[in-house]
Amino acid sequence: MIEYENLALSNQIFFDEFSSEFNSILKNSWYILGEKVKNFERLFADYLKVKHCIGVANGLDALILALNNFNFVPGSEVIVPSNTYIATILSIIHNRLKPVLVEPRIDTYNIDYQKIEEAITKRTAAIMVVHLYGKSCEMKPIKNICEKYNLKLIEDCAQSHGALYFSQKTGTFGDAAAFSFYPTKNLGAIGDAGAVVTNDDSIANKILTLRNYGSQKKYYNQLIGYNSRLDEIQAAFLSIKLKKLEIINSHKRELADLYFKHLKTDFQLPHRNENFYDVFHIFNIRHPKRDALKEYLLKNNIKTEIHYPIPPHKQEAISQYFVNQLYPISEEIHNTTLSLPISFFHSKEDIYQVIEIINKF
């Protein structure tokens, strides 16, 4: 059986270092917002080449706090891709803002920047981009649009730790960016964790306040805050894993290369462009008989996933925001996409085995 993911195996090389950090945190008994969090925040900011990193409880909270900090007028519109994980859109709704979906490109699966301008209205406050599957969006034209219309730019980097657009890391283009360190992400904790990054001192200061009950001084509350703090234990684990993030990413890129080289042309492969350094959080292919293909692979002991089976505008929880709106490109992607094994624990031999079987479909 070739599993889709096996976190025990993917994290195995870190076990010794995790254990010694865990024991030291147990003994020094400082569990929340201490030196380990500060250290990780510094390391991750330096890694991205961004001024500030603020650790929070998870990726959704990072998105919610990033938006909340701007104090947009309730009902303001936020432009967001129609094919993303629902978290991106929930963060807008939780802030009492209106998500305005813009279709992706059928080749990159990322927001089609040529369709953004027609979605802008007087109420548009921000653009929230998502670097889906580990590929950066086209940030130069998107930044130009933000400048032209005076819109805030927020990046959802939950799938793009270390991905580059013309040598610049995702997370450093916008006013603020949100990261998730959910265990399966390229940089994953041993539980929930997230971060907001920004180059803006006042945004950083505000997020720092918001994550801890709107308070920076004990029992003095400036803002209507949240409890969204990063644990010392998760921060310590993340600092250990961050040292190997480049190795994790290049391993995934090597496995992706095998798929690119050897998969037959019946499958629609991800778009590649030398100006983009993709980190393949997910390696997806598309095929019109996706469900049959998934079934066939499972019968041949290969597990795959679908990211994602139902597009956000059709989700029961939020479909009322998108009545009578059509997103055919997003639906096409959702109906045909299949995610192949590409984890840190997979060997090249595993991937050759997947290729051999899938090419017989």
Ligand X SMILES: *Cc1c(COP(=O)(O)O)cnc(C)c1O
Alpha-carbon distance of 261 to 96, in angstroms, equals: 46
Q: Tell me the closest approach of the beta carbon of residue 286 to ligand X, in angstroms.
A: 19
Within residues 115-144, the interface with ligand X by CB under 6 A covers: 130
Contact 354, 341 (CB under 8 A): yes
Q: Does 58 bind ligand X (CB under 6 A)?
A: yes
Q: Does 88 bind ligand X (CB under 6 A)?
A: yes
Choices 58-66, 210-218, 238-246, 352-360 (CB under 6 A): range interacting with ligand X: 58-66
Q: Which is nearer to ligand X, 181 or 276 (CB)?
A: 181
Choices 20-28, 54-62, 70-78, 251-259 (CB under 6 A): range interacting with ligand X: 54-62
Q: Does 231 bind ligand X (CB under 6 A)?
A: no
Of the residues 60, 66, 163, 203, which one makes contact with ligand X according to CB under 6 A: 60
Of the residues 95, 159, 234, 284, which one makes contact with ligand X according to CB under 6 A: 159
Contacts of 255 (CB under 8 A, 6+ apart): 280, 283, 342, 346, 348, 351
Q: Tell me the closest approach of the beta carbon of residue 24 to ligand X, in angstroms.
A: 26
Q: Does 284 bind ligand X (CB under 6 A)?
A: no
Q: Which is nearer to ligand X, 63 or 100 (CB)?
A: 63
Counting Cα atoms < 13 Å in the Cβ hemisphere of 314 gives 12
Choices 155-163, 219-227, 248-256, 292-300 (CB under 6 A): range interacting with ligand X: 155-163
Q: Does 59 bind ligand X (CB under 6 A)?
A: yes
Q: Which is nearer to ligand X, 92 or 340 (CB)?
A: 92
Number of residues that bind ligand X (CB under 6 A): 15
Residue, CB closest to ligand X: 59
Contact 64, 194 (CB under 8 A): no
Within residues 168-227, the interface with ligand X by CB under 6 A covers: 180, 182, 192, 194
Distance in angstroms between the alpha carbons of the first and the last residue of the chain: 18
Q: Does 68 bind ligand X (CB under 6 A)?
A: no
User: What does residue 2 show for φ and ψ, rounded to 5 degrees?
Assistant: -100, 110
Choices 117-125, 154-162, 202-210, 256-264 (CB under 6 A): range interacting with ligand X: 154-162
Choices 24-32, 153-161, 212-220, 291-299 (CB under 6 A): range interacting with ligand X: 153-161
Alpha-carbon distance of 108 to 342, in angstroms, equals: 18
State how far Cα 126 lies from the chain centre: 18
Question: 172: which 2 tokens?
Answer: 């450093």
Q: Which is nearer to ligand X, 78 or 358 (CB)?
A: 78
Q: Tell me the closest approach of the beta carbon of residue 89 to ligand X, in angstroms.
A: 9
Choices 152-160, 227-235, 253-261, 264-272 (CB under 6 A): range interacting with ligand X: 152-160
Q: Does 84 bind ligand X (CB under 6 A)?
A: yes
Q: Which is nearer to ligand X, 279 or 358 (CB)?
A: 279
Kindly list the residues in this chain that would bind ligand X in the complex (CB under 6 A).
58-60, 84-85, 87-88, 130, 156, 158-159, 180, 182, 192, 194
